[in-house]
């Protein structure tokens, strides 16, 4: 559904994206993560048709996105910084959006979401709090009934209740209509629960791109303890791809990359006194992958 | 159409900026319609007519302001996405492509500007029609109006003068006003869109709009002054009007064009106005094309940048630096006592100073110290251009500079300062007198021979502050060749030099002076001549008393005429001179006519032919007096009064007359003709 191939984008002397590859299957929720300045927003703006690539290909349904009305009409996009027409009320913006997306606009959903969020349609959008503006943006983006939803840092400012409502709707659309979602976020805890696949961008390139389960299956958090004479010996981990090691007294906390069975066999061969496989969050995967 | 216009966006843009057309309409109402109504209610009929003439000829401040300011405001309002990245992201996210965005905004702007103008024109129909109505009901009042107002109003408003006024078509007048105004508005709207398409900063856009609009003028002005400074003798090529046309191409000049040329027969009179209108239309299309190109090519990430196209940023910086360089060079010549050294120091100071200012503007920061690295590149290009210009002006164009057509090539010449005269409605005829042609060639050759010393005068600071008497005078020379070509040169020369090489004597030749007045050479084309005499301020008795008092040595003479008080000797002298004429006319029995109308009209072809001979003599004598005044050989007060001859002549292929105004300082032959010749 979404395909980015060898995308390169330079701003003057700065290379924001350097041969980025990204692939999102239809009907999946893709989490795009990366440190600040990694190029997440730049990548999303290419998908939204805002930026034109210097090199590479940016396609939705195998069709180039840039300046393409047909594709843009099928894309719902919530940027990190929101813009509404100055002095417009929610109602005025609603009228505009309804006209602009006349073919796909779902008035029923708009009314329903407006009821759930409890926003005042007669109030100026500029007077809304940041969170309320985000809610309004979600209402509009979801009421467009897009085939592709691009969310750039969508959770900032949303309270947990609204977050729940929004993600329930998104998941419902994914399940029922095959909506494809790409989320860029720092809030990895939230993404952990909903993403099917994850891409970690580093320095404008795709670091790792996997299904979330596969990703977690390849990175392991293990708690081990050895006899005192072995504790300080780091050499013992030779042959194991160690992403992180932390010592807490006699206990060592390891984050290791590799197949689960192989990792377990290698560590157990070292005859630990204690061996525990701990659950790993997406946030930890992200942190340790980036530290490495 | 659907692929060009996005209807939802169009509706939204119109809704969002509804306040702009409302404000425009308010300005029209408060600045034009209401004052027109107020003036009509006043006692002064001429005031109302004067006001309407100002409005309909686009000379009123309200029409000029709305023509310039509102289109720019609309252009700036419709493209907020060019000024801000967040806005740009939102707009780019809509299912609208760049082409649709551009055309939709252009259409929105057009609607916002044209509807108030259209409403204004609807509201104007009534007062314009009433004006027409009044001409029929109050013909006497119109007689008054004719003197002070109808002649002020352009011929485009009353195309055929007062006698044709009853055939006026209200709709035509207002429709003409609408179309002219719309054209002006579109020029500025296109200009505004071009500026905001190139820039992403409102401040830079405003500067750009100014630069772009003055670009034709700047190119001509800069080119002309540099050429004049370095290439003495270089001037407008081939066509007299090339710089004039470019000058008039500037939209601000539109109202001036209509005003300046309302009595004129060249270059943009009613027959030539279409050239101007086509010029404006072409300019508008060019601006729109540039704007469209830039809008489609500019990238989203440049929103908010001072210039959206990096190469253009450097061009802008370079052009600004270049203008700063030249301006500072000229300034340094003036303040540092002259010489090339001062000029070059000014060049360097101006270039560096404006370079950094331009960099600040382009980069939107005060910290441009690091741009010093690029300064040698920009400076190098400037020096390169300068050297190239020196090379061209000192070598390649010699053939042009030194060309004086051979005697056997020349069919006729013009040699005269003609601009002012031409605007007063004076036609030239070519001079074919072999002696004048030979002398003109000699003078031209002398100027070419002396060009190096003349060029040095420019570098002398004293010459930049020439006194009024020493002010260099223009000397255009035009050769009409047998092969149909024209060789045109326009020199500016110090008066003493002109005197020395015989220019003054040449310009005092009767053939040269009379070449300015084509109808005098073709009396058969003249339909009517009006001799307008100075209107008498005093009665004959008072004039006689005044002469007596003055002869008795009175320092001051006062008369109460019921509406006039005289207490100033120069005024008195003027009136006494007028009085003498009146006394002479009274003695010959035509005083009553003169006193009542101050004008006598001659229409009989035979009388016209004999009067023309008298006029030719007086015109030639007047020309000599004027040249003597220029060279201070004659005091201004020596000829305190003048009479005016208005010659209405036909031209082949035209169904209306041209009016030529000839002011006579010497009028002995004309007066004799009035008194004895008829």
Cα dihedral: B546, B550, B552, B553 (round 10): 150
Q: Is the pLDDT of residue B29 over 90?
A: yes
Question: How far is Cα B677 from Cα B591, in angstroms, rounded to an integer?
Answer: 16
**Burial call B345-367: b when 16+ CB within 10 Å, e when fewer:** bbbebbbbebbbebbebbbeeee
- What is the DSSP-derived secondary structure letter of residue B240? T
Q: What pLDDT sits at residue A43? A: 94
What pLDDT digit, counting tens, does each position of A72-92 carry?
A: 999 999 998 999 999 999 999
**Structural element, H or E, at residue B530:** strand B526-532
Q: How sure is the predictor about B150, in pLDDT bands with cuts at 50, 70 and 90?
A: very low
Query: Do the Cβ atoms of B413 and B431 come closer than 8 Å?
Result: yes
The better pLDDT of the pair B622, B217 is held by B622
Residues of chain B contacting A64 with CB distance shorter than 8 Å: none
| Entry field: residues in chain A | 292
Q: What pLDDT sits at residue B41? A: 53
Q: With the C-alpha atoms ordered B2, B8, B11, B17, is the resulting torsion angle positive or negative? A: negative
Residues of A with CB under 8 A from a CB of B: 11, 45, 48-52, 67-70, 72-73, 75, 77, 79, 81-86, 96, 99-102
Our CA-based measurement puts residue A91 at a distance from the nearest CA of chain B, in whole angstroms, of 13
Q: What pLDDT sits at residue B144? A: 31
| Entry field: residues in chain B | 678
For chain B, what percent of residues have pLDDT higher than 70? 67
What six digits make up the tokens of B131?
A: 């004006």
Longest dimension (CA), chain A: 74
Q: What pLDDT sits at residue B612? A: 93
CB proximity list for A262: less than 8 A, separation 6 or greater = none
Q: How sure is the predictor about B470, in pLDDT bands with cuts at 50, 70 and 90?
A: low
The better pLDDT of the pair B191, B141 is held by B191
Residues of chain A contacting B308 with CB distance shorter than 8 Å: none
The ipTM of this complex is: 0.84
What six digits make up the tokens of B420?
A: 């002012």
Q: What pLDDT sits at residue A153? A: 86
Query: Do the Cβ atoms of A56 and A5 come closer than 8 Å?
Result: yes
Best of B89, B91, B302, B364 to disrupt the A interface (most A CBs within 10 Å) is B89
Our CA-based measurement puts residue A256 at a distance from the nearest CA of chain B, in whole angstroms, of 41
Closest CA to B616 of B666, B573, B582: B666
Q: What pLDDT sits at residue B149? A: 34
CA A49 to chain centre: 19
**For chain B, what is the mean pLDDT?**
76
What pLDDT digit, counting tens, does each position of B159-214 carry?
A: 444 444 444 567 777 887 888 889 889 999 999 999 999 998 888 888 888 877 77
Strand-strand pairing, A241-248 and A219-225: unpaired
Neighbours of A127 (CB within 10 A): 10
Q: Is the pLDDT of residue B88 over 50?
A: yes
Environment class of residue B632 by beta-carbon count within 10 Å: exposed (0-12), middle (13-18) or buried (19+)?
exposed
Q: What pLDDT sits at residue B532? A: 80
Q: Is the pLDDT of residue A160 over 90?
A: no
Nearest CA in chain B to A73: B95
Q: What pLDDT sits at residue B159? A: 43
Q: How sure is the predictor about A215, in pLDDT bands with cuts at 50, 70 and 90?
A: confident
Give me the mean pLDDT over the B611-628 stretch: 89
Q: What pLDDT sits at residue A90? A: 95
For chain A, what percent of residues have pLDDT higher than 90? 49
* Nearest Cβ partner for B95 among A72, A83, A96: A72
**Structural element, H or E, at residue B599:** strand B599-602
Q: Do B90 and A68 touch (CB under 8 A)?
A: no
Q: Lowest-confidence range among A95-99, B134-138, B396-400, B514-518?
A: B134-138
Q: Is the pLDDT of residue B121 over 80?
A: yes
Q: How sure is the predictor about A232, in pLDDT bands with cuts at 50, 70 and 90?
A: low
Q: What pLDDT sits at residue A280? A: 78
Give me the mean pLDDT over the A228-250 stretch: 78
């Amino acid at each position: 559904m979404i395909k980015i191939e060898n995308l390169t984008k330079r701003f003057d002397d700065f290379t924001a994206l350097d041969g980025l590859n990204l692939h999102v299957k239809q009907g999946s929720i893709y989490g795009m993560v990366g440190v600040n300045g990694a190029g997440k927003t730049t990548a999303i703006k290419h998908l939204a048709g805002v930026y034109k690539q210097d090199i590479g290909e940016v396609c939705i349904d195998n069709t180039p996105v840039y300046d393409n009305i047909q594709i843009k009409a099928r894309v719902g996009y919530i940027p990190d910084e929101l813009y509404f027409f100055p002095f417009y009320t929610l109602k005025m913006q609603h009228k505009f959006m309804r006209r602009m997306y006349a073919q796909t606009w779902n008035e029923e959903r708009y009314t329903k979401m407006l009821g759930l969020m409890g926003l005042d349609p007669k109030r100026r959008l500029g007077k809304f709090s940041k969170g309320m503006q985000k809610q309004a943006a979600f209402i509009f983006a979801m009421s467009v009934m897009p085939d592709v939803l691009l969310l750039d840092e969508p959770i900032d400012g949303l309270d947990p209740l609204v977050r729940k409502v929004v993600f329930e709707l998104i998941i419902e659309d994914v399940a029922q209509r095959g909506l494809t979602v790409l989320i860029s976020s720092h809030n990895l805890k939230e993404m952990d629960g909903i993403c099917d696949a994850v891409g970690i961008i580093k320095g404008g390139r795709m670091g790792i791109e996997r299904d979330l389960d596969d990703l977690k299956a390849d990175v392991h958090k293990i708690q081990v303890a050895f006899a005192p004479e072995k504790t300080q010996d780091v050499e013992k981990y030779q042959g194991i791809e160690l992403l992180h090691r932390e010592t807490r007294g006699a206990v060592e906390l390891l984050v290791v990359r590799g197949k689960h069975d192989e990792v377990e066999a290698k560590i157990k061969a070292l005859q630990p006194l204690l061996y525990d496989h701990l659950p790993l969050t997406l946030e930890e995967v992200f942190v340790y992958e980036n530290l490495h | 159409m659907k692929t060009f216009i996005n209807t939802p966006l169009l509706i939204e843009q119109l809704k969002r900026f509804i306040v702009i057309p409302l404000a425009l309409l308010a300005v029209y109402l408060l600045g034009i319609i209401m004052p027109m109504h107020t003036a009509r209610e006043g006692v002064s009929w001429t005031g109302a007519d004067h006001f309407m003439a100002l409005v309909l000829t686009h000379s009123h401040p309200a029409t000029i302001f709305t023509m310039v300011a509102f289109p720019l405001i609309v252009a700036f309002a419709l493209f907020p996405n060019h000024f801000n990245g967040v806005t740009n992201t939102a707009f780019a996210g809509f299912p609208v492509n760049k082409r649709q965005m551009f055309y939709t905004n252009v259409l929105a702007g057009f609607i916002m500007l044209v509807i108030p103008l259209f409403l204004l024109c609807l509201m104007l129909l009534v007062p314009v029609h009433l004006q027409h109505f009044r001409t029929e009901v109050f013909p006497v009042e119109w007689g008054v109006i004719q003197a002070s107002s109808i002649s002020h109003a352009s011929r485009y408003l009353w195309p055929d003068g007062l006698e044709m006024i009853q055939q006026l078509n209200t709709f035509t007048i207002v429709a003409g006003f609408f179309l002219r105004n719309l054209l002006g508005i579109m020029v500025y709207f296109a200009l505004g869109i071009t500026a905001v398409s190139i820039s992403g900063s409102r401040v830079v856009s405003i500067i750009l709009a100014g630069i772009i609009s003055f670009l034709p003028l700047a190119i001509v002005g800069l080119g002309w002054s540099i050429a004049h400074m370095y290439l003495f003798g270089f001037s407008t090529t081939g066509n007299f009007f090339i710089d004039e046309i470019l000058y008039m191409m500037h939209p601000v000049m539109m109202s001036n064009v209509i005003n300046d040329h309302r009595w004129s027969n060249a270059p943009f009179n009613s027959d030539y106005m279409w050239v101007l209108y086509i010029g404006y239309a072409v300019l508008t299309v060019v601006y729109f094309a540039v704007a469209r190109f830039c809008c489609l090519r500019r990238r989203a990430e440049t929103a908010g940048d001072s210039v959206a196209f990096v190469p253009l940023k450097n061009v802008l910086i370079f052009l600004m630096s270049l203008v700063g360089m030249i301006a500072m060079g000229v300034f340094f010549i003036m303040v540092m006592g002259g010489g090339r050294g001062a000029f070059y120091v000014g060049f360097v100071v101006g270039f560096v100073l404006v370079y950094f200012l331009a960099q600040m503007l382009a980069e939107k920061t005060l910290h441009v110290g690091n741009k010093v690295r690029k300064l040698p590149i920009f400076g190098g290009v400037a020096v390169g251009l300068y050297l190239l210009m020196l090379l061209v002006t000192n070598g390649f164009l010699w053939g042009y500079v030194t060309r004086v057509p051979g005697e056997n090539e020349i069919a006729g010449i013009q040699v005269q300062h003609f601009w002012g005269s031409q605007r007063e409605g004076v036609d030239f005829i070519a001079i074919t007198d072999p002696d004048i042609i030979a002398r003109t060639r000699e003078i031209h050759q002398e100027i070419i021979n002396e060009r190096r010393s003349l060029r040095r005068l420019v570098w002398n600071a004293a010459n930049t502050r020439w006194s009024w008497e020493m002010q260099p005078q223009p000397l255009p020379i035009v050769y009409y060749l047998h092969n149909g070509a024209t060789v045109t040169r326009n020199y500016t020369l110090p008066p003493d030099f002109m005197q020395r090489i015989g220019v003054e004597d040449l310009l005092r030749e009767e053939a040269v002076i009379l070449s300015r007045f084509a109808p005098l050479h073709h009396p058969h084309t003249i339909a009517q001549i009006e001799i307008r005499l100075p209107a008498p301020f005093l009665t004959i008795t008072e004039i006689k008393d005044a002469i007596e008092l003055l002869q008795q040595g009175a320092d001051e003479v006062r008369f109460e005429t019921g509406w006039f008080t005289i207490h100033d000797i120069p005024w008195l002298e003027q009136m006494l001179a007028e009085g003498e004429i009146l006394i002479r006319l009274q003695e010959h029995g035509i005083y009553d006519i003169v006193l009542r109308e101050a004008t006598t009209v001659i229409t009989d072809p035979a009388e016209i032919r004999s009067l023309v001979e008298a006029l030719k003599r007086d015109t030639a004598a007047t020309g000599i007096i004027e040249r003597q005044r220029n060279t201070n050989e004659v005091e201004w007060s020596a000829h305190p009064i003048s009479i005016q001859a208005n010659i209405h002549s036909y031209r082949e292929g035209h169904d209306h007359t041209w009016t030529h105004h000839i002011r006579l300082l010497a009028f002995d032959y004309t007066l004799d003709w009035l008194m004895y010749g008829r």
